[in-house]
Amino acid sequence: MGITWLLVPGGTCQYGDEGRPVEIGSLYWAATPVAHDDGRPLTGVNHEEAAAIAAQLGGRLPKSAEWEWMAAGPDRHTYPWGDRPWRPRLANLRDSALGGPAPVGQHPEGATPLGLLDVAGNVWEWTATTLMGDGAIIRGGSFASPPLYARCTFLNAAPAELRSRGIGFRVVREA
C-alpha cells in the first residue's frame, strides 16, 4: 500500500451548503483512496478499522470539513474537477456502467486542481467526523451514486460498524 502524498495548503473552508467558515490547516493527503495490491480501493472495513489502518500508514482519517476543503478548494468548486457537469470520464458514478469499484486513478480528468484522484465516485470515503447514534460522515459518492452525490458539499452518513464494498477511505497527515 504505497502512498503518494500531496500537500493541500490550509485556508478557510466555506463548509456545507450554508457556507459556514471553518479554518483548515495544511495537510498532506493520500493522492488516492487506500488501495489493495491489485489497485482497487480497500473496502469492506468499518470506521474503526479504517481509522486504525490510517494510523498504521502514518496518518489519520480526515474530518468532514477538511475533506470538503480538499475537494472544493479555495474557489469552492461544485465538483472536485471544477464546475463542469459530470461525464463518465470524470468519475466512476452510477451511470458510468462500471458496476463496481475500479482501480484507483482511472479517472485522471476528474482530478482536483492539486492532483488528488477519485475524490468523487468509485467509493465513498470515511471521515473522522462522527455523529450521534454511532455513525460517521462519508463523502464523495460511489460507483452506485448519482452525480448529485459527487458535489463537494454533499455529505452522507453510515453506521460506524458498516462494512461495504462501496465505502473506502483516504489518509491525511499533518504538514
SS3 state at 52: helix
H or E segment to which residue 68 belongs: helix 64-72
Interatomic CA distance for residues 160 and 100, integer angstroms: 22
Helix (H, G, I), strand (E, B) or coil at 149: helix
The pLDDT of residue 97 is 76
pTM of the model: 0.96
Predicted pLDDT at 108: 97
Q: How far is CA 148 from the centre of its chain?
A: 15
Supply φ then ψ for residue 80, to 5 degrees.
Answer: -55, -35
Report which residue type is found at 84.
R
- At residue 1, the pLDDT reads 58
User: Rounded CA gap, 111 and 116, in Å?
Assistant: 5
- Furthest CA-CA distance within the chain: 40
pLDDT of residue 2: 82
Q: What is the pLDDT of residue 101?
A: 96
Q: Which residues sit opposite 23 in a β-bridge? A: 12
Confidence at residue 98, expressed as pLDDT on a 0 to 100 scale: 83
DSSP state of 132: T
pLDDT tens by residue, the chain, 175 residues: 589 999 999 999 999 989 999 999 999 999 999 999 999 999 999 999 999 999 999 999 999 999 999 999 999 999 999 999 999 999 999 988 788 999 999 999 999 999 999 999 999 999 999 998 999 999 999 999 999 999 999 999 999 999 999 999 999 999 9
- Is the CB of residue 170 less than 8 Å from the CB of residue 23? no
d(CA 124, CA 23) in angstroms, rounded, equals 24
The set of cell numbers assigned to 131 is 455523529
User: Do 163 and 47 meet the contact criterion of CB atoms below 8 Å apart?
Assistant: no
- Going along the chain from its start, the domains and CATH numbers come out as 5-174 (3.90.1580.10)
